[in-house]
Amino acid sequence: MKLAIIRIASGSLRTHPSRAGSALSGLSRRCLVAGPTNNGQPVGVRPLSASSGSGTNPRLTANFEKEAVKEDESEYDSYVSDVVQSAKEEMVSLQRRNPTIQPLLAILQAGDNDGILEINRKMARKIGINVTQICLAKDCSEDEIVDELLKLNDDPKVHGIYLHLHPASLTSRVLNVLKTEKDIEGITDLNVGQLVRGDLSKGFVPPVASAVLYLLQQHDGLLEGKTVLLFGGERLLQVSLQCLIERSGMIAVKSHWNAKNLQEQVMQADAVVLLDGENVYIPSSWVRPGAAFICCEPLLETDKTTIGLDSKSGLEYLTAAYRTWNVARSCSRWLEEREYRPWNLRSLKLQPLNPVPSDLEISRAQTPKPVDQLAEEIGLLPEELEAYGRSKAKVQLSLLDRLHSQPNGKYVLVAGITPTPLGEGKSTVTIGLVQALSAHLKLNSFACLRQPSQGPTFGVKGGAAGGGYAQVIPMEEFNLHLTGDIHAITAANNLVAAAIDARMLHEATQSDKALYNRLVPSVNGVRKFSPIQISRLKRLGISKTDPSSLTPQEINAFVRLDLDPSKITWHRVVDTNDRFLRRITIGQASTEKGQIRETGFDIAVASEIMAILALADSLVDMKNRLGRMVVGTSHSGQPVTAEDLGVSGALAVLMKDAIKPTLMQTLEGSPVFVHAGPFANIAHGNSSVLADKLALKLVGQDGFVVTEAGFGADIGMEKFFNIKCRASGLRPNAVVLVATVRALKMHGGGPNVSAGAPLPKEYINENLSMVADGCHSNLRKQIQIAHMFGVPVVVAVNVFKTDTQAEIDLVCQIAKECGASDAVLCNHWAQGGRGCLELAQAVKEAASKPSNFKFLYNTEMPIMDKIRTIAQKVYGADDLELSPEAKNKIDYYNQQGYSSLPICMAKTHLSLSHMPDRKGAPTGFVLPIRDVRASIGAGFIYPLVGTMSTMPGLPTRPCFYDVDLDPVTEEITGLF
């Protein structure tokens, strides 16, 4: 479009340039200026034909003197300066908040005309905005436009999109694709709707409409009650302009050239705005003196009586000024959206029933919020979410960059006393506590839980979604597959195992030359090393990059890993309790040419890759850790890594989605991150560092993140402090120690408890003496362990229906006497968050106190001394007893430079000692270390205590007996 404003006063015509260009018309545009003719007579605005007679090539023209042009150019400069100054102020504010930000305008056009680009680029330089141009073919299709538009929508560097296209190309589909927040021309339905509603805080005013209003204000500052007559134009522009005019206190009257009372309408108007180039003749006598005449029309052919002002005249820059100002506004809003957002969490109502139904029935009775709604409530951006169905989603790690300056919330760990085989409810306490904090105390709170393994889900323990009215929902999705992270770990782990055996086979059956030719093949006549092979060459001290330049000795070193089959430490994994895979023989087929060896399977969550997932703090960190994994030793005693095998890049590819935590929710709508699932008895037993870090940023400075450590405090909590906190740099504010009357009776001398068997009468009937003995032994010891790390402890008594009030009161009393900051009963299983309110208040109080956190040992201590420190101070052992193999391993790790790694003890969870039947707080025992292994990628040494196995077995009656599927409704039964 072109804009010209004509003032009629004292029998002369004078023009003022206005803003040119609009996304509403795809034609090239420029501004025309009209002025008085040489004879001083007023000139009407009328159509002219190519000849003196009537014709079919209309143009709207006006004659003027060059002196008038110069005068108007000067006035134009002042107009543009006003808009540029406002845009500059927006940019100053932007760069004050983020000095590195650089707004970008993208012009998507049909054809390669650079006129619009140069106009906008020159104006953008004045303001400090970048401009890019995407030129499609003149006859481009709708699909081509949409494809380019989608790319621009997804490009975070682009803050404004200008569709410089023919009106016919601006179809509903194109407009619906354009992101509203990047629609700086204000042409999408949502932007127009916001303008009509009067909400200008999010949308954009079309620059043409802004320009017209600006010129009206310059023409006559007193706009109240003035009448503006609008002719023609695209509907979007007409609607937008009408809204702006009326909101400014003027009266907008829409008309058309065939109106019977056209002359009357023009004569009564204080301003006439022509929105298109229809054939029209308006005598100057119709326009009342002092009225404004604004002409917006497509550029038409000109003749010698018409002077068009091209880009060099500067008049068109008013258009670019408004456009770039909108880009600056868009960028400012983009920054605001990325700042920390206060939560607007909507809690889900609970209606607890008595008796309490099954976990599965409770889960199904509650309808979870759509995960995108939950994400919005806690301040996540849409692009930070990857939905997996309706109820769960992965969260992008870019959130950490966005909220890097946001202070962390309070960090609370839930641990427990030494449990019975039935478990004591740490997961339910974690969920109940978060529900109490968020749904009832209205404090931002996040639970961070481990993903359950299918081993216990179908074995003895069942799922890990919590229970009763303190659950993660949907519990079936939580307990089965989730988002496939454990499957990714299984695939990655077994790829390494396959690579090990394949490499040994090929090295055993090929010469150096044959190996080299296959490892570094010629492709299309070009032979080169892959990046991962370059890395191996550097580790070997070979700086060459030309495959043809290696000597025979260098080729031998490069192609021969020379793995010792007896010293391969890498096992295959499967996410099932399968005792018969603990020791197997592989390579028995004739095709493997006698490469037979013994190996075994671990359960998937015992894989070092699971530990790496849990401890990595970025994708780069995870990739580096995967490459450092030691899979075995060569015959010469050198460690062989996953990177030596050439597989580390592929592992990162398999794990690239698994590194993102999964967002779910509790029964009361509180947010939960589910991520990683290492066991605490055979690994470090904590959810991921990344989940905790993301949650701590999201809850804000006054919020709470509650995470859980597996099994008893002697195992999960100790590893949380000494391994996880070292890796993350995070420091806990408080520990919740979960205890049950049932477990305390066991530690006080009660009979053994077995899964699937009825509880002995000692656990059903009141027995204060047994409870007291359990408190003075195991509970006291676990509180002391927490105090070794300088963290306040709150004891949470997880109540069962067989507990008496006297027993509960006794536990709380003794716990306080043993040094707990507080001890409270929890009834979340039956009441949800309301049953954990007292615990929430106690945790809030404890976390507000200064923490004197400290590690148990210095990692620079010798490996033996670190193991002994844990054995004596945490477990209560007198000393260690190392097998010859364990001693040799420690010597080897010292030689390889691994001595400064922290320790991850693999020990039974059923006792503080290595003997599952020794309850309470055993003393006077020597801790046997039968083997010592190293997870170099994960970053710890793990001694194996006693007969600890990394592959569980199934009981006589596993949980899977009760699990079934209704083929009609597809409902699952039997999960718990």
Q: Which helix (H) or strand (E) covers residue 212, if one does?
A: helix 207-219
The Cα–Cα gap between 646 and 500 comes to: 10
The answer to whether 445 touches 377, Cβ cutoff 8 Å, is no
Which residue shows structure tokens 């209560």?
Answer: 876
Q: In the annotation, is 829 catalytic?
A: yes
Q: In the annotation, is 426 catalytic?
A: yes
Q: Which helix (H) or strand (E) covers residue 661, if one does?
A: none
Selecting among 488, 616, 680, 713, the annotated active-site residue is 680
The closest alpha carbon to 480, from 448, 503, 457, belongs to 457
Q: In the annotation, is 518 catalytic?
A: no
First to last CA, the chain: 68
Selecting among 450, 572, 623, 719, the annotated active-site residue is 450
Q: In the annotation, is 800 catalytic?
A: yes
The Cα–Cα gap between 609 and 836 comes to: 36
Maximum Cα–Cα distance for the chain, whole Å? 119
Q: Which helix (H) or strand (E) covers residue 950, if one does?
A: none
Selecting among 711, 721, 789, 940, the annotated active-site residue is 711
Q: What is the DSSP string of 366-406?
A: S-PPPHHHHHHHTT--GGGEEESSSS-EEE-THHHHHTTTS
Residue type for 640, please?
Answer: V
Q: In the annotation, is 704 catalytic?
A: no
Q: In the annotation, is 461 catalytic?
A: yes
The Cα–Cα gap between 611 and 953 comes to: 21
The gap from C-alpha 20 to its chain's centroid, in whole angstroms, comes to 42
The answer to whether 698 touches 339, Cβ cutoff 8 Å, is no
The Cα–Cα gap between 475 and 519 comes to: 47
The answer to whether 667 touches 471, Cβ cutoff 8 Å, is yes
The Cα–Cα gap between 711 and 583 comes to: 26
| DSSP helix/strand/coil, 674 | strand
| DSSP helix/strand/coil, 31 | strand
Parallel, antiparallel or unpaired: strands 940-945 and 926-935: antiparallel
The answer to whether 455 touches 573, Cβ cutoff 8 Å, is no
Q: List CB contacts of 143: < 8 A, sequence separation 6 or more.
A: none
Selecting among 61, 188, 319, 428, the annotated active-site residue is 428
The closest alpha carbon to 826, from 361, 418, 414, 446, belongs to 414
Q: List CB contacts of 362: < 8 A, sequence separation 6 or more.
A: 356, 468, 469, 471, 667
The Cα–Cα gap between 310 and 848 comes to: 68
The answer to whether 719 touches 459, Cβ cutoff 8 Å, is no
The closest alpha carbon to 3, from 274, 304, 385, belongs to 274
Tokens linked to 581? 């895979």
**In the 8-state DSSP scheme, what is residue 917?**
T
The answer to whether 742 touches 800, Cβ cutoff 8 Å, is yes
Selecting among 2, 30, 392, 426, the annotated active-site residue is 426
The answer to whether 553 touches 660, Cβ cutoff 8 Å, is no
Core vs surface per residue 487-496: b (16+ CB within 10 A) or e: bbbbbbbbbb
The closest alpha carbon to 211, from 91, 109, 317, 125, belongs to 317
Handedness of CA 568, 573, 577, 580 (dihedral sign): negative
Selecting among 829, 842, 871, 938, the annotated active-site residue is 829
- How many C-beta atoms surround the C-beta of residue 167 within 10 A? 15
The Cα–Cα gap between 452 and 604 comes to: 11
The closest alpha carbon to 778, from 825, 814, 823, 824, belongs to 814
Core vs surface per residue 647-673: b (16+ CB within 10 A) or e: bbbbbbebbeebbbbbbbbbbbbbbbb
Selecting among 257, 800, 853, 855, the annotated active-site residue is 800
The Cα–Cα gap between 271 and 113 comes to: 34
Selecting among 2, 329, 402, 461, the annotated active-site residue is 461
| Catalytic residue set | 426, 428, 450, 461, 680, 711, 800, 829
